[in-house]
Amino acid sequence: MAEITIIGGINIDIEGCPFGSLKAEDSNPGKISLAYGGVGRNIAENAARLGGDTAMVSVIGDDQMGRGAKAQLAELGVDVSCVTELQGRSSSMYLSILDEKHDMAMAISDMSIMDELTPAKLADCAPFLRSSGIVALDANLDEDFLTYACDLLDGVPLFFDPVSASKAARAKHLIGRFYSMKPNVMEAEGLSGLRAQNLPFDLGKLEVLTHTVDEEDWAESWKKDFTPIRLGRHMVVKPSWCDYEARAGDHIIELDPGMAFGTGTHETTGMCVRLVEEHVRPGQKVIDLGTGTVSCELHLPQALFYEELSRQAGVLQDLISQMKQGGA
């Protein structure tokens, strides 16, 4: 079982860059480099280098370069047991030609081997995948495969990398099935069907502004931003360094920021205080049932979230029963 499983492409990247100006229809002296790439493979490598327990699901050809890419992932600690070597096929390759400014002039991509990564092959890895903490997919997978993966792995947090504007459209009908995705502007346009310049809101301009900050005692100066806060009609929260003239009926809570969770500035705190004022009477018992745990469970698969929610609801019912039996 892996903490992170990546399903996607493993490429052999070949890049050529001329020493001088790029001349079309001619042989250009320059430098040629070869590296292992592919969006899915890159994600797997980076996850492993960051210490993640990582696995990869992909296909390679029966050639030296494909085996080298697989071996490199294994050396990084990536589980490659689901990377299949296909006899008689060439590994996926990406050939790019750069100009003298190192901008891409043209490229050719041969990823036909990815068509061999079929739903049937994915089904063979189903138990392994369902036990993963998260699964990431890239758009080098075709539309049918992506749809099948979303159905097969329902309940597992799925992350999606659109790869390119053209390939992003393969998952347009699946946007709501992913926990997260990371499109650039062009990919976002392909997924949403909207043009960035025709959005119903202004994206604004990216500006970097700098200014000189005068030296001061930051340990003390931040306190000027905190003043007494009135919550409801009679509750007032004030930091210890502030003077406050109480009104008739006020209840003063002296609480310094940083000394406790919640100083009255959050809306939920204010709503809770107003409800207490409205409904709680002297002599009554109050259950302070924290729901932060349930909120965190939103990051869990849906089934586990509802299981935890049901468990906490049962705890609340038991507490209410105990209070009733005690005559509250």
pLDDT in tens, 67-93: 999 999 999 999 999 999 999 999 999
Which of 5, 85, 93, 20 has the alpha carbon at shortest distance from 53? 5
The answer to whether residue 294 scores a pLDDT higher than 60 is no
Q: How far apart are the first and last CA of the chain?
A: 50
Band (pLDDT 50/70/90 cuts) for residue 235 is confident
In percent, the amount of the chain with pLDDT more than 70 equals 81
Q: What is the mean pLDDT of the chain?
A: 83
The tally of CA atoms less than 13 A away on the side-chain side of residue 264 is: 20
Least confident of 58-67, 161-170, 304-313: 304-313
Give the contacts of 236 (CB within 8 A, at least 6 positions apart): 228, 229, 230, 244, 246, 250, 251, 252, 253
The answer to whether residue 216 scores a pLDDT higher than 80 is no
Band (pLDDT 50/70/90 cuts) for residue 198 is low
Query: What is residue 201's predicted lDDT score, i.e. its pLDDT?
Result: 64
Task: Tell me what the mean pLDDT of segment 94-108 comes to.
Answer: 90
What is the pTM (predicted TM-score) of this model? 0.58
Which of 179, 185, 222, 181 has the alpha carbon at shortest distance from 203? 185
- Helix pair angle (64-75, 39-49), 10° resolution: 30
Structure tokens at 2: 């892996």
Band (pLDDT 50/70/90 cuts) for residue 310 is low
Give the separation between CA 36 and CA 56, rounded to whole angstroms: 14
Pairing assessment for the beta strands 11-18 and 104-110 based on DSSP bridges: unpaired
Give the separation between CA 212 and CA 185, rounded to whole angstroms: 34
The answer to whether residue 120 scores a pLDDT higher than 70 is yes
Query: What is residue 92's predicted lDDT score, i.e. its pLDDT?
Result: 94
Which of 54, 61, 39 has the alpha carbon at shortest distance from 128? 54
Higher pLDDT, 286 or 160: 160
Give per-residue pLDDT as tens, 131-186.
999 999 999 999 999 999 999 999 899 999 998 888 888 998 898 899 999 888 88
